[in-house]
Amino acid sequence: MIRIDSVTKRYPDGTVAVDRLSLDIPDRSITVLVGPSGCGKTTTLRMINRMVEPTEGTILIDGEDSRRQPVTTLRRSMGYVIQNAGLFQHRTIADNIATVPRLLGWGKQRARDRAAELMERVGLDPSLAGRYPYQLSGGQQQRVGVARALAADPPVLLMDEPFSAVDPVVRKGLQDELLRIQDELGKTIVFVTHDIDEAIKLGTMVAVLREGGRLAQYAPPAELLSRPADGFVEDFLGADRGIRRLSFFPSAALEPATDAVIPAGATAERIAATAAPHLLVTDAEGRPLGWAAREELTGGDVGTDRLLPYGRPFVPGVDSLRTALDSAVLSPTGWAVAVDGDGRVTGVVSQQTIGEAIRAAHTAAHTAGGAGTAGRAEDEKVAG
């Protein structure tokens, strides 16, 4: 565990970057520091590996004051990933990844074997090993940066806005890759971002900092969205925090309807058997092709070029209610398309059904929260 205990960073001109910050960062988790520009996120991160020295307070790593370790030893025990990767341009990708192992005295072959292993882990083609950073895309360079930080298998990984310089599609892929790697390796990750959506997606715990480097709230993402500590946190989360909260409600309770799903070339009798105004047409393998108005189908097959798009499907029980609602909103018919893990249609779900599931999830969450509050009150009563 990393414990930040009443830490302050004050510069000679009197500027306070971090003000009496206290955080317990749990092991094998992703703790995200988020907040507006100038709130001390990066300064806090750099104080953990002593790139910046605290003015006051202590930072304990597994109970030991970080200032009691030689700074080089401390930094080599922590992976560090920054924006734009910070790669050595004159070294190959394999040599970039092998940098820290070589500094630790590993033999060349062992270090290169480790580099090859990590390239596979972060989703890089082995053929890129001999290339140089300028020959890679921005997303590939960031993957190299993550691999390099993991090379000596450090228990702690510090990440300073590592994905902010890439486009949204690449960024989502990198976020998903980080979650996959964390699921496999279980590092203690401290991640800095200014993007609340990224914080909510990645964080086991999220620390919201306000200007002046003071802690506004420290909580799991679901609690942050449901119970912001004050107006500053509420404003920072944005007007759509209710939609974000749906990311923590599962879609397993949704029961897709199958009567509005027909295969291409279905008989007139099959089409007449449903009263749905629109029918989802699937191919021979059960994958969605698009929506067709029922009256158009009664006149014979409708060409795929005349089908309405089916939007973005979701996987019940895997995706959240937010994804299901998004699927319904993106669908021209207002119905979300449910598929299995292989992309085959399992049915369709109306906005009304999703709305009922959202209300039920809110009620369950409120009831659970009330029970927890009552339980704590009873514990305090007994303790008193």
pLDDT value at position 272? 79
Enumerate the H helices of 195-345 as residue ranges: 196-202, 221-226, 231-237, 241-245, 268-272, 294-297, 321-330
CA separation for the pair 363, 153 (Å, rounded): 44
pLDDT in tens, 126-137: 999 999 999 999
Shared-domain flag, residues 210 and 318: no
Shared-domain flag, residues 186 and 215: yes
Whether 25 is in a domain gets the answer yes
Nearest to 223 by CA among 233, 209, 231, 238: 233
CA separation for the pair 358, 372 (Å, rounded): 21
pLDDT in tens, 319-355: 999 999 999 999 999 999 999 999 999 999 999 999 9
Low-confidence stretches of the chain (pLDDT < 50) are 371-384
Shared-domain flag, residues 237 and 325: no
Shared-domain flag, residues 192 and 161: yes
Q: What is the pTM of this model?
A: 0.83
HSE-CB for 37 with a 13 A CA cutoff: 0
Whether 176 is in a domain gets the answer yes
Domain end call among 247, 275, 298: 247
Shared-domain flag, residues 268 and 243: no
Shared-domain flag, residues 63 and 205: yes
Q: How many domains does the chain have?
A: 2
Shared-domain flag, residues 157 and 182: yes
pLDDT value at position 384? 35
Shared-domain flag, residues 99 and 194: yes
CATH number at residue 54: 3.40.50.300
User: Which structure tokens are listed for 4?
Assistant: 């930040």
Q: Report the run of H or E that residue 147 belongs to, with start and end.
A: helix 138-150
pLDDT value at position 383? 36
Q: Which domain holds residue 90?
A: 2-247
pLDDT value at position 303? 59
